């Protein structure tokens, strides 16, 4: 009887491992530090970190123990903590941004804003418990994200709504919004655009 229980326990464990891989087949096994990377199939993609309030994006580290309990938390450090040390402007970073912008320029005349630490659009969760986010994809805005402010009227903003247009992070929410039928309506107020 004990052998049967051992076999059943091993089968149950193998099944649970397979189920986890099936839900997120491209996820790597936990690294030495215990971290796992977020993929498009991760069940926590788009969920909010219980520590910092940022949503999980592709490539974000996650604490696998918390993910198993549905208390998802960034592994290593949260996005704001990560950028505190990087907040000082560097020539290398500026050169990198300039290179990406020249390889994949925004539409002519479209003003882009790089959200630097301290920008009010990066405010920590308030009483509502939600950080400001892209009005198209819903991911929270992070330091150094590049966005279009007031997508309906970016040349003369009427609101503080922001939409990602970030070639570095491959977040082209503004482009997708413009190409779609919903691009005929303001993503903030839903009013029809002329």
Phi, psi of 58 (to 5 degrees): -55, 135
Q: Mean pLDDT for the chain?
A: 79
| pLDDT at residue 149, as a whole number | 93
What confidence tens digit (pLDDT) does each residue in 83-139 have? 655 545 577 777 888 888 888 888 888 899 989 888 888 887 666 668 899 999 999
| pLDDT at residue 147, as a whole number | 94
Give domain status of residue 100, yes or no: no
Give domain status of residue 36, yes or no: yes
Q: Which domain holds residue 140?
A: 106-184
| pLDDT at residue 183, as a whole number | 64
What confidence tens digit (pLDDT) does each residue in 153-169 have? 888 888 889 999 998 88
Strands 146-149 and 162-164: antiparallel
Give domain status of residue 95, yes or no: no
With pLDDT > 90 as the criterion, what percentage of the chain qualifies? 15
**Region 131-154 average pLDDT:** 91
- pLDDT confidence tier of residue 25, bands split at 50, 70 and 90: very low
37-46, 47-56, 179-188, range with the lowest pLDDT:
179-188
Give domain status of residue 97, yes or no: no
| Residue in the structure block whose two tokens are 């418990």 | 129
The verdict on 115 and 57 lying in the same domain is no
For the chain, the domain total comes to 2
The verdict on 74 and 110 lying in the same domain is no
Give domain status of residue 190, yes or no: no
Strands 61-62 and 146-149: unpaired
| Residue in the structure block whose two tokens are 């005929």 | 184
What confidence tens digit (pLDDT) does each residue in 57-68 have? 988 888 866 655
64: number of Cβ within 10 Å: 17
Give domain status of residue 33, yes or no: yes
Phi, psi of 119 (to 5 degrees): -65, 135
Residue among 188, 151, 144, 184 at smallest CA distance from 167: 144
Cβ atoms 110, 138 nearer than 8 A? no
| pLDDT at residue 43, as a whole number | 84
CATH number at residue 170: 3.30.40.10
């Amino acid at each position: 009887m004990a052998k049967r229980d051992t076999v059943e326990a091993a089968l149950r464990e193998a099944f649970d491992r397979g189920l986890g891989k099936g839900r997120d087949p491209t996820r790597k096994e936990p690294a030495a530090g215990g971290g796992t990377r977020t993929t498009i199939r991760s069940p926590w993609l788009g969920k909010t970190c219980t520590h910092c309030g940022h949503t999980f994006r592709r490539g974000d580290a996650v604490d696998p123990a918390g993910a198993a309990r549905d208390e998802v938390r960034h592994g290593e450090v949260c996005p704001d903590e990560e950028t505190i040390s990087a907040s000082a402007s560097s020539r290398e970073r500026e050169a990198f941004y300039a290179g990406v912008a020249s390889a994949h320029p925004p539409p002519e005349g479209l003003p882009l804003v790089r959200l630097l630490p301290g920008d009010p659009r990066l405010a920590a969760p308030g009483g509502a418990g939600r950080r400001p986010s892209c009005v198209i994809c819903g991911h929270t805005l992070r330091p150094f994200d590049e966005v279009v402010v007031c997508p309906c009227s970016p040349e003369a903003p009427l609101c503080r709504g922001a939409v990602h247009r970030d070639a570095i992070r491959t977040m082209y929410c503004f482009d997708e919004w413009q190409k779609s039928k919903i691009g005929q309506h303001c993503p903030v107020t839903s009013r029809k655009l002329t």
